[in-house]
Amino acid sequence: MELTTVWFALIAVLWIGYFTLEGFDFGVGMLLPVVPRNDTERRVLYNTVGPLWDGNEVWVLVAGGATFAAFPEWYATLFSGFYLPLLLILVALIVRNLAFEYRAKKDDDVWRRNWDLSLVIGSFVPALLWGVAFANIVAGVPINGDKEFTGNLFTLLNPFGLLGGVVTLLLFATHGAMFIALKTDGEIRHRAGALSVRLGLAAAVVAVVFLVWAQAKTGSVSSGVAFVLAALALVGAIGAAWKGREGWAFIGTFATIALAVAGLFFALFPDVMPSTTSAAYSLTTTSASATGYTLTVMTWVAVIFTPVVLAYQAWTYWVFRKRLSTHHIPPVSPAEPLPAGAA
């Protein structure tokens, strides 16, 4: 197997890791106004993802860096053509991350409400725009002979792209509800479990339409198999959530997102950015790749350090594996700020 194919697959794995892990972070943030009933319950939701969100974001940083190093032409065309939506995602992530860090710095209801709103918006925007971006990457965008994107923001806001955004939005919300039900106890757990079933049904309808459309546009046998398995995993997750089996439900949405993203990369290969202007202008794994020496060095670095990163993140999840409830949240004294880490 050529190293260009290996690195295309590795980048797909990095995006799968990002969407499956950061996806439930986004879901928890978007559901902040829906699931909790008071400030203590909101603090429970913050603490479910508090030890995890920053580690989950590492996946997108590595995916971007790997794309830059392995496929510099892909990186250049993608980040220049998709500059505005990617900038909006970046700003939203910054605002969202500040909410985790600053909400507990001041004992004031208005202060906390503003940061709660920041978390909701900072989760909603990336959940929507990542779907728009990937739908357009798979379907193709106008690229000229100089490998430059010739469209604009409205080019990306086409029906297929917008549908992709709605799919990721609903899938991440469902994934987040499953995670809340798995990670909490008491009333929050029951509310999240019931909500996850309703969200899952809505996500299933929209996702099936999108995946069938994607398969018809640019699908392959491999992508078709992945899409079917993703749909079955989502149905299984909804059934498990309905029966109150939160662990299997979360595994189901995890598998759904992983298989759907894998299917999109199967549909994309061997292109990395198809051109709707002319097939001759499409960027492929071969035409957009770095030199063989660069890919060889990167491969050895990945072989050495990837197991270390995976082991560390697995250890983090194991340490913070227990359920949380309102009785775990210490009371706030009016004269004192919230304890560090007790968002």
Which pLDDT score is estimated for 146?
85
Residues 6+ apart with CB under 8 A from 230: 207, 211, 255, 256, 257, 259, 260, 263
Domain ranges of the chain: 3-324
Lowest-confidence segment of 8-12, 252-256, 304-308 by average pLDDT: 304-308
pLDDT tens, 56-100? 998 999 999 999 999 999 999 998 889 999 999 999 999 999 999
Write a three-state SS string for the chain: CCHHHHHHHHHHHHHHHHHHHHHHHHHHHHCCCCCCCCHHHHHHHHHHHCCCHHHHHHHHHHHHHHHHHHCHHHHHHHHHHCHHHHHHHHHHHHHHHHHHHHHHHCCCHHHHHHHHHHHHHHHHHHHHHHHHHHHHHHHCECECCCCCECCCHHHHCCHHHHHHHHHHHHHHHHHHHHHHHHHECCHHHHHHHHHHHHHHHHHHHHHHHHHHHHHHHHCCHHHHHHHHHHHHHHHHHHHHHHCCCHHHHHHHHHHHHHHHHHHHHHHHCCEEECECCCHHHCEECCCCCCCHHHHHHHHHHHHHHHHHHHHHHHHHHHHCCCCECHHHCCCCCCCCCCCCCCC
pLDDT tens, 78-87? 988 899 999 9
* The pLDDT of residue 340 is above 60: no
C-alpha dihedral sign at 113, 98, 180, 48: negative
- Give percent of the chain with pLDDT exceeding 90: 72
In Å, what is the CA distance from 267 to each residue of 60, 75, 232, 325? 21, 19, 19, 43
Which pLDDT score is estimated for 55?
87
* The pLDDT of residue 342 is above 90: no
pTM for the model stands at 0.92
Which pLDDT score is estimated for 337?
46
Structure tokens at 167: 């799919």
d(CA 51, CA 69): 30
CB atoms within 10 A of CB 156: 22
Region 118-134: what's the mean pLDDT? 95
d(CA 47, CA 44): 5
* The pLDDT of residue 30 is above 80: yes
pLDDT tens, 167-203? 999 999 999 999 999 999 989 999 999 999 999 999 9
Label residue 339 by pLDDT band (50, 70, 90): very low
d(CA 173, CA 26): 7
* The pLDDT of residue 154 is above 90: no
Which pLDDT score is estimated for 183?
94
Which pLDDT score is estimated for 254?
96
Structure tokens at 69: 């190093």
Which pLDDT score is estimated for 343?
47
* The pLDDT of residue 206 is above 60: yes
Contact 100, 340 (CB under 8 A): no
